[in-house]
Amino acid sequence: MKAARFSRFGGPEVLEIVELPEPRPGPGQVRVAVRAAGVNASDWKKRQGLMDQQLPQTMGHEAAGVVDELGDGVTDVRVGDRVFGFDTTGAAQAELAVLAWYAPIPPSLDFAAAAALPVAVETAARALDQLGVQSGSTLLVNGASGSIGRAAVQIAVSRGVRVIGTCGPASHDAVRSLGAEPVAYGDGMADRVRAIASVDHALDVAGNGVLPELIELTGDARRVITIADFDGAQQHGVRFSKGDEGRALYSLKLIEPCGWSIPVGKTFPLAEVAEAHRAGESGQVRGKLVILVGDR
């Protein structure tokens, strides 16, 4: 099968499309013929050598496709079903992928839209649970217009939480449409937030150096979580939330009743995975980047 891989660290040019053996599903897993795979910032961080150090490495943790093989004990889906979820081996940007955590694709979503969801939804749901966000509380999402920020807003609103979302002025209408109250980034952000609400919890998705302001707004570093500022978390005593795909199945199965969505900004064929990385690193594409594979 064809798959994206790199054998040395560096820029997007190190990515290759190579032939690899077909993976087989283990107990409780399914194999899918991949139709779409999400692209995340962690992908280019891996490629740059900022995460795992082993070589070579394959790419991608989230995929949507058609089940073509079942692992032992799988009874909740059948061959031919449309599913999406997590490839915990990081090899989803390929013609075939094994999903350890999966859920049926809601009828309202195509493959690209489904592939945009797993990482964002799992990350947001995990962070909100770690914060202990409950109905009736007020949450500040710093970076509400990105994929994870949008997921956090939608999940929190569905739980009866008042949400304030920081974002650029061009994204205010989009954030407002999700049920949040938009506030502009930049100098004076804390004052603008304070003028409209008292904040119980804060989730930092943007990683733009505002953890001291978030601590000030909530009154306690324990009421703040970041998923994007590891150094700042250590410096200011804030929890840094790490991935835990074990929650993914719970999160994904909630999507259809709540109508959550993440906009797909641009798609690329598997052969152009390097271009997808360039687009992601440039920050010029709004919405999720998705790799399209096979028949759709």
Do 8 and 107 sit in the same domain of this protein? yes
Cα 53 from Cα 139, distance rounded (Å): 36
Smallest CA-to-CA distance from 112 within 34, 219, 192, 215 is with: 34
Total of domains in the chain = 2
- Residue 252: the pLDDT is 62
- Residue 230: the pLDDT is 86
Containing 15, the helix (H) or strand (E) segment is strand 15-19
Do 9 and 111 sit in the same domain of this protein? yes
Q: Is 250 part of a structural domain of the chain? A: no
Do 108 and 190 sit in the same domain of this protein? no
- Residue 261: the pLDDT is 75
Do 62 and 125 sit in the same domain of this protein? no
Do 125 and 229 sit in the same domain of this protein? yes
Q: Is 148 part of a structural domain of the chain? A: yes
Q: Name 184's bridge partners.
A: 167
Q: Is 255 part of a structural domain of the chain? A: no
Q: Is 258 part of a structural domain of the chain? A: no
pLDDT digits (tens, 9 = 90+) for 161-204: 999 999 999 899 999 999 999 999 989 999 999 999 999 999 99
- Residue 43: the pLDDT is 87
Domain that holds residue 42: 2-116+263-292
Q: What is the CATH number of the domain that holds 208?
A: 3.40.50.720
Do 9 and 112 sit in the same domain of this protein? yes
- Residue 256: the pLDDT is 57
Q: Determine the average pLDDT of the residues in 109-130.
A: 90
Neighbours of 259 (CB within 10 A): 10
Q: Is 28 part of a structural domain of the chain? A: yes
Do 186 and 285 sit in the same domain of this protein? no
More confident residue, 286 or 184: 184
Do 167 and 218 sit in the same domain of this protein? yes
pLDDT digits (tens, 9 = 90+) for 28-77: 999 999 999 999 888 888 888 877 788 999 999 999 999 999 999 999 99
- Residue 49: the pLDDT is 86
Smallest CA-to-CA distance from 126 within 219, 227, 43, 211 is with: 227
**Burial tier of 52 (Cβ tally within 10 Å: 0-12, 13-18, 19+):** exposed
pLDDT digits (tens, 9 = 90+) for 93-103: 999 999 988 88
Q: What is the CATH number of the domain that holds 84?
A: 3.90.180.10
Smallest CA-to-CA distance from 199 within 210, 213, 185 is with: 213
- Residue 245: the pLDDT is 46
Q: Is 256 part of a structural domain of the chain? A: no
Do 112 and 126 sit in the same domain of this protein? no
| Single-letter amino acid, residue 236 | H
pTM of the model: 0.84
Do 9 and 46 sit in the same domain of this protein? yes
- Residue 182 makes CB contacts below 8 A (sequence gap 6+) with 144, 164, 165, 166, 167, 171, 172, 175, 176
Using pLDDT thresholds of 50, 70 and 90, give the confidence band for residue 106.
Answer: confident
Do 186 and 236 sit in the same domain of this protein? yes
Do 189 and 94 sit in the same domain of this protein? no
